[in-house]
Structure 1
Amino acid sequence: MKLHPRHGWAVTPRDAVVLQQDLRGEIDTSRPLSLPDVRLIAGVDVSIKNGLSRAAVVVTSLPDFAVIETVLATRPTPFPYVPGLLSFREGPVLEEAFSKLGTEPDVFIFDGMGIAHPRRIGIASHMGLWLEKPTIGCGKTLLVGRFEALGLKKGAAAPLVDKGETIGVALRTRERVSPVFISPGHRIDLASAVAVTLAATTRFRLPEPIRLAHAAAGTL
């Protein structure tokens, strides 16, 4: 798959923050995506242990979630753990994995954040610039923002708000289970991100493509 790299990865944490601030203005969260047009969904996850990172990208069909392609990449972890700078820790190994893709998914769902990020450029947004395809952030834990109580049934949602800006939603993907935090990454709007996430979720809390990617990344 053709990528569109924007910078190198050999940077300091201070440089990384500057890059995020420079790139955030290019993130596009205004584009609707019609569900009938989505045939291939990719789940994206990275496992990190003992200084090594393994990325997995699993491309599935919709609505049956048949696995069309799985690609893996493993390399040394190049960046320290710094909250808000996950993309600099996982970006290099993801870039390698994406470059191996022979199919071109219609949308990518990341185990991580889109614009629900202090500088509005989480990993789904940042890597969305590399992919120039619709990307969605699906976080398991809250990074930034607040939300009101939401219903207990699957599909219940509450806006995720930070500094007066709606940056995503808390979304119940399974009845009476803790919500996940959905935000657009790049080239998709919030309503479409929620619709795709629900369409990609079966009986588990996490969307099926992310579950498959998590299993493929495994434990190093």
Structure 2
Amino acid sequence: MRPKKECPWNLTPQEAVELQEEWRREVKVEDGPRPEDLRLVAGCDVSFSQARGMLYAAVVVLKVPDFEVAEESTACLPATFPYIPGLLAFREIPALLSALEKIKSTPDLILCDGQGIAHPRGMGIASHLGVLFDLPTIGVAKTCLVGRWKTPGPERGSFSYLRYRGRVVGTVLRTRTGVKPVFVSPGHRVSVDLAREIALYLAPRYRLPEPLRLAHLLSYRLNRQG
């Protein structure tokens, strides 16, 4: 896979914010592929070793609906951008790009561990990656970055809308009965409700959607191995 757009990475935090303000105009929140139309879905995750100062990126592409692994790819890069909430893309995407460029297939959709438009500038890591590749992307986060929401019901599939500055930017979704919800937001070329439907469809057994769960496990193993 090769990105359709180039992005400068050697930026100051202020320059990164300015780039997000510029690129947010390219983000499309619209209906995309339906869950039943998906054939290949990629999950992306990055773990960080503070002791080594290294980022460990993992990409797992699954065949849908049987959830068989089609491809896996990893990359290890030093962290060159500081950890700043809201600027995660500039820290993690360089490592993810190295892993994604090794993937031979083009997935129908990419899931990211992080936010999409549920972000102070509407440009979380899922939106950034979506614009780079011009592919449908969804952000699935374990915690809330911005917005107000009500606790969804305890049953699988229950959800509430996440609102920020008078706009619906995502959903708080219960993917397993009695388990903490996840925060799902469109990244690019996906609507709010469709992102929720896809995230639930791809999480038949665990809290995280399966492509993302497997990518998380792979990046964690890579980190432990050093």
1:103 maps to amino acid? S
Any conservation in 1 of the 2:29–2:191 contact (CA below 8 Å)? Answer: yes
What is the aligned counterpart of 1:66 among 65, 68, 85?
68
Give 1:103's match in structure 2, choosing from 68, 87, 105. 105
- C-alpha distance after superposition, 1:169-203 (max 9, x if no partner): 00000001111000000011112111111111022
CA distance in 2, matches of 1:92, 1:125: 15
Partners of 1:135 and 1:203 lie apart in 2 by: 21
Distance 1:13 1:82 in 2: 8
Partner of 1:26: 26
Contact 1:56 1:72 in 2 (8 A): yes
Q: Equivalences for 1:141-160 in 2 at 5 Å?
A: 141-160=143-162
The 5 A counterparts of 1:55-94 are 55-94=57-96
The equivalent of 2:135 in structure 1 is: 133
Counterparts of 1:82 and 1:3, CA distance in 2:
24
Count of matched residue positions in the alignment of Structure 1 and Structure 2: 220
Per-residue Cα deviation, 1:88-119 (whole angstroms, up to 9, x for no partner): 00011111111111011111111110001010
Spell out structure 1 runs of 4+ moving beyond 6 A.
none
| Residue of structure 2 equivalent to 1:47 | 47
- Selected match of 2:126 from 119, 124, 127: 124
How far 1:138 moved relative to its partner? 0.1
Alpha-carbon shift at residue 148 of structure 1 (Å)? 1.4
Mean CA deviation greater in 63-72 or 3-12: 3-12
Query: Which residue number in structure 1 is paired with residue 11 of structure 2?
Result: 11
- The percent of aligned pairs where both chains have the same amino acid is 46
Within a 5 Å distance, the mapping from 1:179-218 to structure 2 comes to 179-218=181-220
Determine the C-alpha separation between the residues in 2 that align with 1:75 and 1:2.
Answer: 18
AA aligned to 1:83 is: P
Contact 2:114/2:126 (8 A) holds in 1: yes
Task: Give SS of 2:119's match.
Answer: coil
- Specify the SS of the correspondent of 1:168: strand
Query: Offset at 1:2?
Result: 2.5
- Per the alignment, residue 35 of structure 1 pairs with 35
Q: Secondary structure at the match of 2:91?
A: helix
Amino acid in structure 2 at the alignment position of 1:92: P
120-129 or 202-211, larger mean C-alpha shift = 202-211
The answer to whether the 8 A contact 1:33-1:189 is kept is no
Structure 2, unaligned stretches of length 5 or more?
A: none
Find the aligned partners of 2:210 and 2:66 in 1 and give their Cα distance.
Answer: 10
Contact 2:32 2:136 (C-alpha < 8 Å) held by counterparts: no
Provide the rounded CA distance (Å) in 2 between the counterparts of 1:51 and 1:4.
29
Provide the rounded CA distance (Å) in 2 between the counterparts of 1:79 and 1:187: 27
> How far is 1:5 from its partner?
3.0
- How high is the TM-score relative to the length of structure 1? 0.97
Could you say what the CA RMSD is over the residues aligned between the two structures, in angstroms? Answer: 1.0
User: What CA distance in whole angstroms lies between the structure 1 residues aligned with 2:59 and 2:127?
Assistant: 16
- 2:43, 2:215 within 8 Å by CA — same for their partners in 1? yes
- Give the secondary-structure state (helix, strand or coil) at the position aligned to 2:8: coil
Unaligned residue ranges in structure 1 (runs of 5+): none
